[in-house]
Amino acid sequence: MPVSSFQPPVRTLMGPGPADVHPRILSALARPTIGHLDPAFVAMMDELKQLLRDAFRTRNALTMPISAPGSAGMETCFVNLVEPGDKVVVCINGVFGGRMKENVIRAGGTPVCVEDAWGDAVDPDKLDETLKLHPDAKLVAFVHAETSTGVASDVPTLVDIAHRHDCLTIVDAVTSLGGSPLEVDAWGADAVYAGSQKCLSCTPGLAPLTMNERALEKVRARQEPVRSWFLDLNLVLGYWSGSGKRAYHHTAPVNALYALHESLVMLHEEGIEQAWARHRRNHLALKAGLEALGLELMVKEADRLPQLNAVTIPGGIDDALLRKQLLDLYGLEIGAGLGPLAGRIWRIGLMGYSSRAQNVLLCIGALGTALKALGAGGDTGEALSRAQSVLSEV
């Protein structure tokens, strides 16, 4: 069998992640591999942890990347914080809340679910009522930015309610970190995890994580060991902790961490608030163009995520065919709907390096042209000019 090097096609990634990776980050990956206990590497790790604290807006000492994708960040929180028998209230308004429930069960806990429709934010009143019915609950878990629906939930309000009922909080910030306001300390969130490939625009495979002292106390007070060797924070911290000598736990993904470091340097250079503003501006430009094409956003305005736009597919349009055309003709990837939203929405991501003017214009131009060929949509030139005028507002 003849084999050759793999050359990926050139794509523009405007789906639910991974996002486009900046060339600076790709070139960081190609730097020479050094030992994961090399003093130069350890110094880079210390800087990486500080850059992550800045991105999460926290002073938590325990702030570091887990050497595995966002799902492992989720699992790290649950296996460490849930003890067998713990009651955990899980808010579910999309795919990722459902996975949290699964994590609670596998960690030996008892989930109590607060369900909201896919496309709605988590309802704080329902959470409050549920906690009143379950005064023995120990934890509350929810997703900040539901990537399956494009919905933002109100983290500070949900955290306040949880704390009033003496519960710790686990917050999924995989899609929010770097893309929309996230204030771990000001909001009091106790355990928060994210992912490298969404609004940080790094390659997939790393999960930034932060936990405050209260959460760590629960981990330290466990009666039985964490039911995962790899994700046991008591062991991982021996390698990642700031002072003293570092014990070998696993071989850090050295080059992947160069890339995460580079992505955080870029975020630092831009400024996190500027990055949030950029995501918002590009979202508004995309929205203006989509509306001129006669398309509608599914989520109500107050709950919309700028980095993930759920667009209602117009009647009579073949979802899979249209997405295939975008990929074949323009190298443009947009996301399909999941679960009950399959065939009903497209998910257009504007995450990290993908959130830029040229991607907004490419997407509107490509979508407008493809829809027109199917006898749908609106005036593509007008849609581009509406988007362009939002982009040129200061």
Ligand X SMILES: *Cc1c(COP(=O)(O)O)cnc(C)c1O
Minimum distance, C-beta of residue 132 to ligand X, in the bound complex (Å): 28
Residue count of the chain: 394
3-class secondary-structure state, position 287: helix
Q: Check binding of 78 to ligand X (CB under 6 A).
A: no
Q: Check binding of 208 to ligand X (CB under 6 A).
A: no
> Residue from 124, 181, 204, 378 that binds ligand X (CB under 6 A)?
204
Minimum distance, C-beta of residue 7 to ligand X, in the bound complex (Å): 24
Q: Name the residue number minimizing CB distance to ligand X.
A: 70
Sequence-ordered list of residues with C-beta below 8 angstroms from that of 119, at least 6 positions apart, any chain: 93, 149, 151, 298, 299, 310, 341
> Residue from 41, 56, 78, 96 that binds ligand X (CB under 6 A)?
96
Using CB under 6 A, which of the segments 38-46, 172-180, 270-278, 385-393 binds ligand X? 172-180
| Cα(355)–Cα(281) distance, integer angstroms | 9
Q: Check binding of 147 to ligand X (CB under 6 A).
A: yes
Q: HEC states along 37-81? A: CCHHHHHHHHHHHHHHHHHHCCCCCEEEEECCCHHHHHHHHHHHH
Task: Concatenate the DSSP letters of all residues of 100-134 into one string.
Answer: HHHHHHHTT-EEEEEE--BTB---HHHHHHHHHH-
The answer to whether the beta carbons of residues 264 and 200 sit under 8 Å apart is yes
Of 74 and 292, the one with the shorter C-beta distance to ligand X is 74
| Main-chain phi, psi angles of 347, to 5 degrees | -115, 110
Q: Check binding of 58 to ligand X (CB under 6 A).
A: no
Residues in contact with ligand X, total (CB under 6 A)?
Answer: 13
Residue 246's DSSP bridge partners are none
Of 204 and 314, the one with the shorter C-beta distance to ligand X is 204
Cα R_g (the chain), whole angstroms: 21
User: In the Cβ-directed half-sphere of 218, how many Cα atoms lie within 13 Å?
Assistant: 22
* Residue type, position 29, single letter: L
Residue 332's DSSP bridge partners are 12
> Residue from 24, 71, 344, 356 that binds ligand X (CB under 6 A)?
71
Can you read off the two tokens belonging to residue 344?
């009903």
> Residue from 52, 174, 286, 363 that binds ligand X (CB under 6 A)?
174
Of 12 and 147, the one with the shorter C-beta distance to ligand X is 147
Using CB under 6 A, which of the segments 44-52, 167-175, 278-286, 377-385 binds ligand X? 167-175
> Residue from 13, 14, 15, 17 that binds ligand X (CB under 6 A)?
17
> Residue from 93, 175, 180, 307 that binds ligand X (CB under 6 A)?
175
Of 298 and 384, the one with the shorter C-beta distance to ligand X is 298
| Main-chain phi, psi angles of 268, to 5 degrees | -60, -45
Dmax (CA) for the chain in angstroms is 67
Minimum distance, C-beta of residue 147 to ligand X, in the bound complex (Å): 3
The answer to whether the beta carbons of residues 187 and 137 sit under 8 Å apart is no
The H or E element spanning position 210 is: strand 207-211
Minimum distance, C-beta of residue 69 to ligand X, in the bound complex (Å): 3
Q: Check binding of 70 to ligand X (CB under 6 A).
A: yes
Q: Check binding of 143 to ligand X (CB under 6 A).
A: yes
The H or E element spanning position 261 is: helix 254-270
Task: Concatenate the DSSP letters of all residues of 215-252 into one string.
Answer: HHHHHHT-SS--S-STT-HHHHHHHH-SSSPPPP-S--
| Cα(267)–Cα(201) distance, integer angstroms | 10
> Residue from 24, 69, 160, 181 that binds ligand X (CB under 6 A)?
69
> Residue from 195, 349, 365, 368 that binds ligand X (CB under 6 A)?
195
Minimum distance, C-beta of residue 373 to ligand X, in the bound complex (Å): 32
Minimum distance, C-beta of residue 96 to ligand X, in the bound complex (Å): 4
Using CB under 6 A, which of the segments 19-27, 70-78, 217-225, 241-249 binds ligand X? 70-78
Using CB under 6 A, which of the segments 67-75, 109-117, 249-257, 332-340 binds ligand X? 67-75
Using CB under 6 A, which of the segments 68-76, 123-131, 182-190, 349-357 binds ligand X? 68-76
Residues 118-137 that bind ligand X (CB under 6 A): none
Of 65 and 195, the one with the shorter C-beta distance to ligand X is 195
Which residues of this protein are in contact with ligand X, per CB under 6 A? Answer: 17, 69-71, 74, 96, 143, 147, 172, 174-175, 195, 204
